[in-house]
């Protein structure tokens, strides 16, 4: 929180000395120019109301009927993980372009304002201490800090800790991803919750496995409703997913194809 506020105070000076360039097209003036912002592809409202994956119509996807993202009530991603949004997230995480954090956070803020739920606390997905030392900052915490400042919601970075490093999710299929992050997060000693509504914040979600692994200890600590919001939804392969069981051979093929694509390693979750 302190970092985000000092960053925003220093920004005019920094911009004067080092004028920012658009991460996507290179144009001088901002970290993400207006033209490239318009290219960002929203996930929209035809989604699974539980996991937030795109569907042909709004409903509950076949996967959530078997394995809903409990204890999370709903996961939402604002954009698809592609184009300028993917580049912005990579720029923030891997090139230390922290000026992108308030820009990306603004989209999360707008989403929360457009879909208001009572939120008692924001919880960013923690990084393992080794990763934090390498990167120097936790991008999810920067995003959450910007939201906390603007919407005046408490930021709780003291609830969870990442107790073991995890493998890059990219090499893993869905089941392995769940196993990889299971038990990776634990509560800080002596901290408990009393039915508070929590919104977990992260930059990207693919299967939601990391978010669920965060939510479990939060629920065990006494959290009430738990929601999750990310800037981007990495998995476009489920765009052909249908909200109900296949009703025709063609639809069955589309479902099969969507599932098959999900098993192909997805490079994006290594970013988490």
Contact 107, 77 (CB under 8 A): no
Pattern 16-35, binding to Zn ion, x per CB under 5 A? ------x-xx-x-----x--
DSSP 8-state class, residue 47 = B
**CB 7, min distance to Zn ion, A:** 21
> Which stretch, 53-61, 73-81, 201-209, 218-226, contacts Zn ion (CB under 5 A)?
53-61
Cα–Cα distance measured from residue 31 to residue 19, given in angstroms and rounded to the nearest whole number: 9
Residue positions counted in the chain? 272
Burial of 166 (C-beta count, 10 Å sphere; 0-12/13-18/19+): buried
The stretch near Zn ion (CB under 5 A) out of 64-72, 123-131, 205-213, 236-244 is 64-72
Residue number with CB closer to Zn ion (27 or 128): 27
Nearer to Zn ion, 56 or 171 (CB): 56
Give residues with Cβ within 8 angstroms of 121, minimum separation 6.
153, 154, 155, 156, 159, 196, 197, 198, 199
Which is nearer to Zn ion, 48 or 155 (by Cβ)? Answer: 48
Nearer to Zn ion, 22 or 181 (CB): 22
Chosen residue from 4, 43, 47, 61 binding Zn ion by CB under 5 A? 61
The encoded tokens of residue 187 equal 């509560």
Beta bridge partners of 202: 230
Number of residues located near Zn ion, criterion CB under 5 A:
11
For Zn ion, the binding residue among 4, 47, 48, 238 (CB under 5 A) is 48
Q: In this complex, which beta carbon is closest to Zn ion, that of residue 48 or of residue 228?
A: 48
Query: What is the closest distance, in whole angstroms, from the C-beta atom of residue 56 to Zn ion in the complex?
Result: 13
**Beta carbon of residue 74, minimum distance to Zn ion (angstroms, whole number):** 9
Which of residues 36, 89, 101, 160 is near Zn ion by CB under 5 A?
Answer: 36
C-beta closer to Zn ion: residue 61 or 147: 61
Q: What CA–CA distance (Å, rounded) separates 115 from 106?
A: 14
Angle at 204 between CA 141 and CA 153, to 5 degrees: 35
Backbone CA torsion sign across 226, 121, 221, 129? positive
Q: What are phi and psi of 121, to 5 degrees?
A: -160, 145
> Which residues are near Zn ion by CB under 5 A?
22, 24-25, 27, 33, 36, 48, 50-51, 61, 64
């Amino acid at each position: 929180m302190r970092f985000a506020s000092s960053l925003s105070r220093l920004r005019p000076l920094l911009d004067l000395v080092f004028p920012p360039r658009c991460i996507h097209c290179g144009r001088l003036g901002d970290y993400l120019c207006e033209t490239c912002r318009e290219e960002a592809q929203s996930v929209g409202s035809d989604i699974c109301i539980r996991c937030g994956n795109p569907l042909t119509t709004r409903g509950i996807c076949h996967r959530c009927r078997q394995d809903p993202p409990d204890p999370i009530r709903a996961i939402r991603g604002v954009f698809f993980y592609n184009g300028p949004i993917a580049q912005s997230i990579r720029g923030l995480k891997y090139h230390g372009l922290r000026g992108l954090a308030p820009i990306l956070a603004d989209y999360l803020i707008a989403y929360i304002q457009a879909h208001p739920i009572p939120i008692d606390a924001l919880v960013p997905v923690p990084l393992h201490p080794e990763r934090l030392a390498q990167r120097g900052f936790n991008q999810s915490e920067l995003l959450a800090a910007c939201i906390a400042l603007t919407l005046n919601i408490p930021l709780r970075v003291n609830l969870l800790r990442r107790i073991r490093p995890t493998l890059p999710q990219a090499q893993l299929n869905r089941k392995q991803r769940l196993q990889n992050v299971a038990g990776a997060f634990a509560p800080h000693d002596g901290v408990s919750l009393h039915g508070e509504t929590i919104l977990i914040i992260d930059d990207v979600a693919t299967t939601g496995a990391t978010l669920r692994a965060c939510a479990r200890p939060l629920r065990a600590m006494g959290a009430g409703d738990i929601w999750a919001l990310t800037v981007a939804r990495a998995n476009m392969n489920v765009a052909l997913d249908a909200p109900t069981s296949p009703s025709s051979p063609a639809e069955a093929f589309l479902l099969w194809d969507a599932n098959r694509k999900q098993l192909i390693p997805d490079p994006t979750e290594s970013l988490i």
